[in-house]
Chains A and B, each alone.
Chain A
Amino acid sequence: MLNCRQVAEQASEYLEKELSLAARLQMRLHLLMCRVCRQYVRQLLMTRAALRAFSHDDQLQPDAPRELFRRWTADERD
């Protein structure tokens, strides 16, 4: 039987489905019976989902890479 500390330690792997079948079943069993750990795992999941919101295109001067490319193709042709 897993204890809560072990659950917290493995929670990230559990979310990534990186645990062995046996370990995953043990986690599931614990989570079924432990509301607090269920809450913890849900919060970890929410954290991961919230991080997704930071994904956006950090455009540098968008022309700079294009200019680079043009110069490179010009050089290649020499």
Chain B
Amino acid sequence: MMVHVHEPVCRASITAAVSDDAAVVARLLAGDEAAFATLVSAYQGSMLRVARVFLSKPDVAEEVVQETWLAVLRGLRAFEGRASLKTWIFRILANRARSRATREARVVPFAELASADDEQGDADLERRFSAGGQWADPPTDWRVHSPEALVLREEVMQHLATALEALPPAQRTVVTLRDVDGWSSEDVCESLEISEGNQRVLLHRARTRLRAALAAALGQR
């Protein structure tokens, strides 16, 4: 018996780090530069990647990331801890990136991106099955026995990197945060303010495409 749960927007992640957030904030307010350096190195990579989804120019994305840090520091006293520090930082980033993109006349509201159908991607997978749901165009053996072996093949990884860049923006953000940066689905949902369902679909589509790209790079299906 399947239990159907009314689809929630993600619940606030009950992070064990809540008390850690308070400690970090206290240290920052006390002028602890090392604490700030730690925070920066923890999130900077992901922040740049998220900014790049909204902003095509890398230097503009970097600017927005810097502005975000400033906004974070300035807003620290008012930080109430209702969301995690991480979520709060990324929401500020997403908002700034979005308004900057608007100013540069490229409006890409994430909510719209998230709901945009990727009919091409879905159709590609559909086409590989018969009407009865059997494989008509099955995956073939990659002859690669571990992810480690795969990662050593530079050309193949280059292909994967290209395929990642070529993903529709919403898919690229989600799969990057989840699979490259190792974020939980709760953190992704909260930071990008999308539903679990949205997140799940975007991740599925991204991974499906990327698997296909890897297969192609290996001369397989």
A residues near B (Cβ < 8 Å) are: 3-6, 8-9, 11-13, 16, 18, 20, 22-23, 36-37, 39-40, 43-60, 64-66, 68-70, 72-73, 76
Contacts and interface: CB of A to CB of B under 8 A. Distances in A.
A49 B29 CA distance: 38
A43 B142 contact: yes
Contacts of B160: 47, 50-51
Interface in B146-168: 146-147, 150-151, 157, 160-161, 164
A39 B141 contact: yes
Interface in B119-152: 125-126, 128-129, 132-135, 138-139, 141-142, 144, 146-147, 150-151
Nearest to A19: B2
Leading 5 A-B pairs by shortest Cβ distance? A3-B133, A49-B147, A5-B133, A51-B179, A12-B204
Give the interface size bracket for B toward A.
35 or more
A31 B139 CA distance: 14
Contact of B44 (A36, A49, A60): A60
Contact of A4 (B36, B133, B180): B133
